[in-house]
Amino acid sequence: MAETVLGVIGGSGIYDLPGLEKAVWTKVEGPWGEPSDEIRIGEINGLKICFLPRHGRGHIYSPSDINYRANIDAMKRCGVSDLISVSACGSLKEEYEPGTFVLVEQFIDRTFARPKSFFGKGCVAHVSMAYPVSPRLVDHVEAAARAENLTYRRGGTYLAMEGPQFSSLAESHLYRAWGCDVIGMTNMPEAKLAREAEICYSTVAMVTDYDSWHPDHGEVDIQSIIKVLHENAENAQRLVARLARDIPRKHETCPVGSDTALDYAILTAPEARDPALLAKLDAVAGRILNE
């Protein structure tokens, strides 16, 4: 079994993880352009941790401007086997109050301005997204949340919208009618690309507000969101640090095939594949292309 390497993509609140040692900001270069930032690589109790600020230090990238392919490629090049996405979200359910951590199970992708695949003309691949998160990884995240006495809910559907504007009232009501639980702007195509890169993925969606549907809260208030974000920061640090301490050091096989997603996904005949695209896929698809 391979060694576990824990990746974390998130915001400024978890730059300084409790117990993180030997931490160094490291530039990771790849063929998909520049990632959002350097990756802070360190260790907790001997476990390698790779942290990437999704929006860049100082929050310089909007959700639509993030280079998701470069971010996931960089994580793969660092050897990440298990990736935790920590991100703010709005609640579409009364019971998902601000401050709650939601361990998402499903996604609906409503983004439209972002490249969503590493594959394309010259090397076509179709991966399954029926089960986009790794349940075994979610088990470990849930155990960490429980151990730290955090308020959390397991399950639910994350609606990924394009942004950067928040939802209209009509949109918010529509997404509630669809049965969605939380809404955010960053977990797609991140989850799809992690799947293509054969990285086990799990979302920790931190509720900051009730979107615009709630009659007692009205429109989204960015000042209130920032206040809750700061309040969540310490809890997010504790969650990730506990997960890093407790997760098995040997990577466990994913029961829904996250780590073998490319086994039968590539359809282009070997002799018809574009060498230039194959070169860009060296990290993401090296396991299957080098067989």
C-alpha distances in Å from residue 70, one per residue of 100, 195, 274, 284, 285? 30, 14, 20, 11, 14
The answer to whether the annotation marks 209 as part of a ligand binding site is yes
Q: Is 282 a known active-site residue?
A: no
State both tokens at 60.
Answer: 């310089």
The answer to whether the annotation marks 167 as part of a ligand binding site is no
The answer to whether the annotation marks 210 as part of a ligand binding site is yes
Q: Is 65 a known active-site residue?
A: no
Domains by residue range for the chain, with CATH: 5-289 (3.40.50.1580)
The answer to whether the annotation marks 246 as part of a ligand binding site is no
The answer to whether the annotation marks 203 as part of a ligand binding site is no
The answer to whether the annotation marks 65 as part of a ligand binding site is no
Question: Of 73, 82, 181, 211, which residue is the catalytic one?
Answer: 211
* pLDDT of res. 233: 83
Integer Cα distance of 9 and 4 in angstroms? 16
State both tokens at 236.
Answer: 């997010």
Question: Of 73, 82, 109, 209, which residue is the catalytic one?
Answer: 209
Give 100-134 as a DSSP string: -EEE--EEEEE--SS---S-BTTB-B----SS-S-
Q: What is the pLDDT of residues 129-149, one digit of tens each?
A: 999 999 999 999 999 999 999
- The distance of Cα 136 from the centroid of its chain, to the nearest Å, equals 16
Mean pLDDT in consecutive groups of 10 residues from the start of the chain, 291 residues: 93 73 96 97 95 93 97 98 95 92 98 98 98 98 98 97 93 96 97 98 93 64 69 88 96 96 97 98 96 75
The answer to whether the annotation marks 88 as part of a ligand binding site is yes
